Amino acid sequence: GLTARLQNVFGKLRGKGKVSEEDVNDAMREVRLALLEADVNFKVVKQFITKVKEKAVGKEVMDSFTPGMVIIDIVNKELTELMGGSQSKLAKANKPPTVIMMVGLQGAGKTTTSGKLAKLLQKQNAKPLLVAADIYRPAAIKQLQVLGEQINAPVFTLGDQTSPVEIAKQGLQHAKDNNHDYVIIDTAGRLHVDEELMAELHQIHSHVNPDEVLLVVDAMTGQDAVNVAEHFNTQLSLSGVVLTKLDGDTRGGAALSVKAVTGCPIKFITLGEKLDALEPFHPERMSSRILGMGDMLSLIEKAQFNIDAEKAKEMEQKMRTASFTFEDFLEQMDQIKKLGPIDQLMDMIPGMGKMKQTKDLKVDDKQMGRIEAIVFSMTKEEKQNPEIINQSRRKRIAAGSGTTVAEVNRLIKQFDEMRRVMKQFSDMMGPKGNKKAMK
């Protein structure tokens, strides 16, 4: 997938003390291929590459960074920007109800997304009304009613013999009369964009004057999703896009192109058929998900202000050679504590987010204290050569630190794992360039 491809690209930057323009060009050639392969619109790719190159070439490489890190940082920021920069929130009417009109092709996920959105709004203590305005698809009304029942949200319907415009109009009135603060209108789709569909949507639009026109598109359809978005947008002036079925085998291209092509932000994504599988779309999270790096770069940014530069340099050398000891570990913990709550930080370190999810690694500030106690109970020799900590030493350390042998075992295991991840990561990043400009 895209993530693997990109990681591969950055992996190739290893072993370079200084990044030349040619290196940037090489890396960007690969990034370009990776994006095209992921079905990102080619114009978008072209612009993206140009921007990244402009920013990367000649950029100062600060102490304790590598040129590879600088490039990843730029790619990350540009990907985020490409997807809209920051989260685009759902509009809210000055005077309720807020009217949301769901549009899109048949099978894109309009009806299920309507239900999911209603559920999300309910969680925010809102009182949404669902309006069944798809009178064409067999059982579409029933489908919405079933969803409504599951979440205990009322569904307004006039059957399938009344025009969708009339249903939408009366639905809105019903919402006003019954103090609903949101109205979600589920409209019909066709297999292809056609004039009849657009004419009907226009009519509904002009009668209910929606605060949001959300286009629902299926991420699995790749470039097609973007074409559909472009087409709908010229016809209806969309306010946002919902990208569905991101749980499936999608190459991610649609997520990257939609905003750039249509100017219309992705507001939500859906990740499954269940009713809680809807999430607000966060460009920066999607970008780091695509890059597969957690939020490593923001950690580096944060660390820059807080961590002693000399110590960081030393630590990096140790990470690279895997001569990292429990003494370094203690020191690192001290440095890390300056940065903020530990569980947030763990998410930012590559590999750690995943480690945290495994049930035996739950780190909070209290647990940090126990970990420290264990390390303090080691002899100097043990701290420097963790390999020598055998069973009887573990017993002694546990007794000395007021913990259990199981806890000591766990820490040593985690320490080994951490060393392994650090080694891998620093190998990938390559040696750092000291204040070398990437020329």
Note the residues at the interface with ligand GDP (CB under 6 A).
104, 106-112, 189, 216, 244-245, 247-248, 270-273, 277
Stated length of the chain: 439
Q: Does 401 bind Mg ion (CB under 5 A)?
A: no
Query: Would you say 46 or 123 has its CB closer to ligand GDP?
Result: 123
Q: CA–CA separation, 285 vs 302, rounded Å?
A: 17
> Least distance from C-beta 102 to ligand GDP, angstroms?
8
Q: Which residues pair with 128 in a beta bridge?
A: 182
Query: Does 106 count as an annotated binding residue?
Result: yes
Least distance in angstroms from the C-beta of 168 to Mg ion: 15
Which one of Mg ion, ligand GDP, none is in contact with 112 (Cβ closer than 5 to 8 A by kind)? ligand GDP
Taking the complex as a whole, the smallest distance from the CB of residue 237 to ligand GDP amounts, in Å, to: 20
Q: Whole-angstrom Cα distance, residue 155 to residue 129?
A: 6
Establish whether 396 is an annotated binding residue. Answer: no
128 cis-preceded (ω within 30 degrees of 0) = no
245 labelled binding-site residue? yes
Q: Which residue is nearest to Mg ion (CB)?
A: 111
Give me the least distance between CB of 167 and ligand GDP, in Å please.
15
* 332 near Mg ion (CB under 5 A): no
Spell 245-274 as b/e; 16+ CB within 10 A means b: bbeeebbbbbbbbbbbbbebbbbbbbbeee
CB of 104 to ligand GDP, least distance (A): 5
Q: Does 41 bind Mg ion (CB under 5 A)?
A: no
CB 71 within 8 A of CB 19: yes
Closest to Mg ion by CB, 41 or 111: 111
Query: Does residue 187 touch Mg ion according to CB under 5 A?
Result: no
In the complex, the smallest distance separating the C-beta of residue 345 from ligand GDP, rounded to whole angstroms, is: 31
| CA–CA distance, 133 with 156 (Å, rounded to integer) | 9
Whole-angstrom Cα Rg for the chain: 27
Q: What pairs with residue 101 in β-bridges?
A: 185, 213
**How far apart are alpha carbons 228 and 219 in whole angstroms?**
11
Tokens of 304: 């820059």
The answer to whether the Cα torsion of 56, 57, 58, 62 is positive or negative is positive
Which tokens go with 423?
């080694």
- Interface with Mg ion, residue 111, by CB under 5 A: yes
Nearer to ligand GDP, 189 or 350 (CB): 189
Say if residue 222 carries a ligand binding annotation.
Answer: no
Which one of ligand GDP, Mg ion, none is in contact with 288 (Cβ closer than 5 to 8 A by kind)?
none
d(CA 392, CA 246): 51
Enumerate the known binding-site residues for GTP. 104-111, 186-190, 244-247
Instruction: Please report, as ranges, the residues that interact with Mg ion according to CB under 5 A.
Output: 110-111, 140
